[in-house]
Amino acid sequence: DSGVTQTPKHLITATGQRVTLRCSPRSGDLSVYWYQQSLDQGLQFLIQYYNGEERAKGNILERFSAQQFPDLHSELNLSSLELGDSALYFCASSVGNRRGDQETQYFGPGTRLLVL
C-alpha cells in the first residue's frame, strides 16, 4: 500500500459526459502527478501540482483540467468524453521540493475509466 488513494476504482460513462477523478496523496506529500495509461499509447504524463500550484504540464488535453486543493488532495476533471479517453488514470505523489528536483513517486491504484 503506497499510501496514495484514488476514487473511484472503476467508472463507466457515456460519450459526451464529464467525470471527476479524485486523488489523496501520502500524508505530508506536496506534489501530485496525474498519468494516463491506454492500451495504444502506454503511460503518458498529464500534469503535476506542487503545493497547490501547477508545476508541469504534459500531454493533457484541453478537455481535461486538474487542480490541487489546500488540503493537498487533487482532482482530475475530464469533460466531453470520447471513446478514446477510456484508460487507466494514475495519480502519484512525492514529498515535493521548491527546486523541482526529481523524487521517488508513490503511485495510487488507479481509476479505470470506460467510455461507452
Partner 1 sequence: KNEVEQSPQNLTAQEGEFITINCSYSVGISALHWLQQHPGGGIVSLFMLSSGKKKHGRLIATINIQEKHSSLHITASHPRDSAVYICAAPTGNQFYFGTGTSLTVIP
**Partner residues linked to 24 by β-bridges:** 5
Nearest distance in Å: CB 33, partner 1: 8
**Phi and psi at residue 87, to the nearest 5°:** -175, 175
Nearest distance in Å: CB 87, partner 1: 11
Three cell numbers written together for 112: 479505470
SS3 call for 93: strand
Specify the residue, 2 or 15, whose C-beta has the smaller distance to partner 1: 2
Residue type, 76: L
Specify the residue, 90 or 115, whose C-beta has the smaller distance to partner 1: 90
Instruction: Write 40-44 long-range contacts (CB < 8 A, 24+).
Output: 43/90
Binding site for partner 1 (CB under 8 A): 2, 35, 42-45, 56-58, 88, 90, 92, 101-107, 109-110, 112
Nearest distance in Å: CB 1, partner 1: 10
Nearest distance in Å: CB 16, partner 1: 27
Three cell numbers written together for 67: 487542480
**Phi and psi at residue 84, to the nearest 5°:** -70, -5
